[in-house]
Structure formats: structure tokens, C-alpha cells
């Protein structure tokens, strides 16, 4: 059975495959948009390292005995952002496998809940980011905006690819 035949069949497996694939690609696109926005809107203080850098730096130190070099920090950050964005997008796509049509509001909710469940709760609890009360409100709103753009982009790309794969 070819991939195109599998994706065109109307079965649970083909619907799931299309949804996961469309969501994954949507999440990658959303991550790219989020990263681009963060180049222009500050989401942390200049001297503050991102949670992604802290994670990769710790891993690098454990594996190689040395932290990530300053020149490679941008790349290291994307090595965390890309798989997380793709994974979140795939989960989002799976959740939308039986919901057809473009729903930008779903993307807004997805992005906002991603922000709340990471930057407002889990990352501070893990000690990877300061408590929300220690972050200026403008930076929090920039981060929220970037996550909402991530969610909306994920929804737009997911919808487009899902529609293309169904046709």
C-alpha cells in the first residue's frame, strides 16, 4: 500500500496519520514564527539565559564535560524548540482529527495554554525560569503573544495540510 493511498483512505488510522502529520508540520511552522517574534520582542532580560539553553547546557556538561559555547547558544536553543514545537503540534493535530475546518480560536487557546503550562507554571517550578511575579509584565505579554502566534500558526498550517492530504 502506498503512502498516498493510506492517507486518502477514510479510516481511523488514515485520519490519525493525517492529523499527526499536519499537526507536527504546523507545530514546526509555529515554532519558527515564535522564534522570529522573539527576535524582535524581548521575552527575558538580556543577561537571563532561556530555559532551553539551561537544559542543553546541563546536558552538554554531563555528556562532554563542557557547557555549550556562547556562539552555539542560538542553535542549542532551537534544538529544544523544534522538537517540542513539533511534538506539541502533533498532539494538537491528533486532538483535532475529527474536527474539520479552520478554527483560529482553537489556535489562540492552544498557544495561550502552552504559555501558561510552561512559562507560568512548570518552568518556574523546575527552576529553569524566574517566578512569574519576578518577570516584568511587558515581557510576560511578549511571551504570551509569541505563544499565541505559535498556536494560530499551528492551526493555520494544520488546517491547510489536513485539507490537502484529504483531497
Question: Distance (Å, rounded) from C-alpha 96 to C-alpha 38?
Answer: 27
Domain residue ranges of the chain, discontinuous segments joined by + = 12-46+83-165
- What cell numbers appear for 84 in the block? 517540542
Are the C-beta atoms of 70 and 49 separated by less than 8 Å?
Answer: no
pLDDT in tens, 12-32: 677 888 899 999 999 999 999
37 versus 54: the higher-pLDDT residue is 37
Question: In angstroms, what is the C-alpha Rg of the chain?
Answer: 18
- Whole-structure pTM value: 0.88
**pLDDT, tens only, 35-50:** 999 989 988 877 778 8
Contact criterion met (CB below 8 Å) for 7 and 17: yes
Q: Whole-angstrom Cα distance, residue 44 to residue 150?
A: 18
Q: Tell me, what's the pLDDT at 111?
A: 97
| Cα–Cα distance for residue pair 4/135, rounded to 1 Å | 48
Amino acid at each position: 500500500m502506498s503512502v498516498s493511498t493510506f492517507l486518502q483512505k477514510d479510516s481511523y488510522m488514515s485520519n490519525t496519520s493525517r492529523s499527526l502529520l499536519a499537526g507536527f508540520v504546523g507545530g514546526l511552522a509555529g515554532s519558527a514564527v515564535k522564534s522570529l517574534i522573539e527576535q524582535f520582542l524581548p521575552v527575558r532580560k538580556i543577561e537571563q539565559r532561556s530555559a532551553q539553553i539551561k537544559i542543553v547546557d546541563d546536558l552538554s556538561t554531563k555528556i562532554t564535560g563542557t557547557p555549550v559555547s556562547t556562539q552555539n547558544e542560538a542553535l542549542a536553543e532551537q534544538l529544544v524548540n523544534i522538537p517540542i514545537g513539533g511534538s506539541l503540534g502533533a498532539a494538537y493535530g491528533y486532538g483535532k482529527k475529527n474536527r474539520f475546518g479552520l478554527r483560529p480560536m482553537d489556535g489562540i487557546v492552544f498557544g495561550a495554554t502552552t504559555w501558561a503550562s510552561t512559562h507560568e507554571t512548570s518552568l518556574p517550578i523546575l527552576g529553569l525560569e524566574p517566578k512569574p511575579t519576578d518577570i516584568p509584565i511587558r515581557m510576560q505579554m511578549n511571551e504570551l503573544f509569541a505563544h499565541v502566534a505559535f498556536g494560530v500558526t499551528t492551526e493555520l498550517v494544520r488546517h491547510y495540510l489536513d485539507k490537502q492530504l484529504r483531497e
